[in-house]
Amino acid sequence: MQQSRRMSQHGRIPPTGPIQTSTRTAGKLPIASTRRRKQYIITGMTTYDHLTSALLDSIPHDIVNAMSAQMRDVLAVQATRAEFCRRAAEEAGRAAPEPANVPESDRDQTAKSPQTPVRFVESRAEYRAERSYWNEGGPTMVRTVDDTITAAGVEVPVRFHFPSTEAVLPGIVFLHGGGFTVGDLDTHDRIMRVIAESSGAAVIGVDYSLSPEVKFPQALYESAGVIDHLVRRGQDFGIDGSRLAIAGDSAGSMLTIGATLLLRDDPASVGAHPETFSALRALMAFYGGHGLSDSASRRIFGGSWDGMGTDDLGSIMSDYFSSADDTGSPFYHHLSADLTGLPPVFVAAAGLDPLRDDARALAMRLRRAGNDLAYEEYPHVLHSFLHFGRILDDTTDVLTKAAAFAAERLTLCVLSRREP
């Protein structure tokens, strides 16, 4: 099957001139996608073709025409499952207690840990239901362990995926996306397992506290604190704390860069060891926002079809920050930070994503700062495409490349990818 052309290969930053797109015809269904179609059309629901037509009619035609056929197939699956996800949200909302109904015995604890507003209970349940389909299948781990690590004053749930029986493995800390308000260890589980299998490293997922219950920089501090703990006490978990990488998608990409800068510039703020930064061997930042408040991609892309419209992005900001002044922090606004001397960085962007230009700008800044950089841009996919490996070949491609990037810098031999 013909492979999508990338707008940039390892280390090459995209030009400032007109964007060159793939020669693949978006309207043609690739052989792999045709073969998989029967696997994901859901019996008893509205037909694939009808749902595809209704959904794509709601998206600007220029964006639809730029999508790969597989990306359109992903949207069709999302449409078939929309009612199921909506019901999951409604059920969670009905089960959530109103503030006045919190039992007297629980009120002290509620005061310490603010109760989640019902709309976030619903959105998190809907997100979990939506992602559940995409987490089915994938690699089987030799061992998976759920645990907690104390960081930033709280017990942070973590998940260890071990792809081999080695007593001690290098670790890749994974920080999930979800706009800082949704997402958990389950919503990104397949992504973590694929990275573990492809890299040979253990992958450690971090279930940091979500907004709006907590505000910036709590999630950042928890992420950095978990990394520091693994550097110092990794052997307790079977992790070589001297060989760590960090990876994250979307909001997790922002935490990946932010936590690295924090551990370099202000480790004392999270009680981290000054030498923790030196244990970081690689970073992987997938389609994150890194400080732009306006850009061409933000004006052109994003809407109800991907949850990345202007209002969506604005809500994320208001939920995550207590004050507008916080948006100037170099641990959030990475494009204004000192980016010299960072570990090697793999940056990936989605071509039809409002955050595309953030990723491009970050890559340019990293290159100018003299860092070891690999940049990949996938022209025909939307934000969040890391989730869609059951259908999307670009997902497998980017995760395999990122895992190889990390494995090389963690001094591992990349494992041969097992056939499903």
List the pLDDT tens digit at each of the 420 positions of the chain.
Answer: 334 333 333 333 443 333 333 333 333 333 333 334 434 333 334 455 666 677 788 899 999 999 999 999 999 999 999 999 999 999 999 998 776 554 544 433 333 457 899 999 999 999 999 999 999 999 999 999 999 999 999 999 999 999 999 999 999 999 999 999 999 999 999 999 999 999 999 999 999 999 999 999 999 999 999 999 999 999 999 999 999 999 999 999 999 999 999 999 999 999 999 999 999 999 999 999 999 999 999 999 999 999 999 999 999 999 999 999 999 999 999 999 999 999 999 999 999 999 999 999 999 999 999 999 999 999 999 999 999 999 999 999 999 999 999 999 998 644 444 443
Catalytic residue, candidates 383, 384, 387, 393:
383
Q: Give the Cα separation of 364 and 367 in Å (integer).
A: 5
Active-site choice (73, 228, 353, 393):
353
- 250 in active site: yes
Contact between 206 and 174 under an 8 Å Cβ cutoff? The reply is yes
Supply φ then ψ for residue 415, to 5 degrees. -75, 145
- In the Cβ-directed half-sphere of 178, how many Cα atoms lie within 13 Å? 28
Determine the longest span between alpha carbons in the chain, in angstroms.
64
Cα 181 to the center of its chain, rounded Å? 13
- Give the DSSP per-residue string, 70-138: HHHHHHHHHHHTHHHHHHHHHHHHHHSPPGGGS-GGGHHHHHHSPPPPHHHHHHHHHHHHHHHHHTSS-
The residue from 123, 250, 297, 329 that is catalytic is: 250
Tokens 């999302």 map to which residue?
Answer: 78
Q: Specify the DSSP class assigned to residue 329.
A: -
383 catalytically annotated: yes
353 is known as an active-site residue: yes
| Domain annotation for the chain: domains and CATH numbers | 32-80 (no CATH), 83-127 (no CATH), 141-409 (3.40.50.1820)
| Contact (CB, 8 A) for 369 and 388 | no
CA distances from 249 to 49, 52, 76, 179 (A): 31, 27, 23, 10
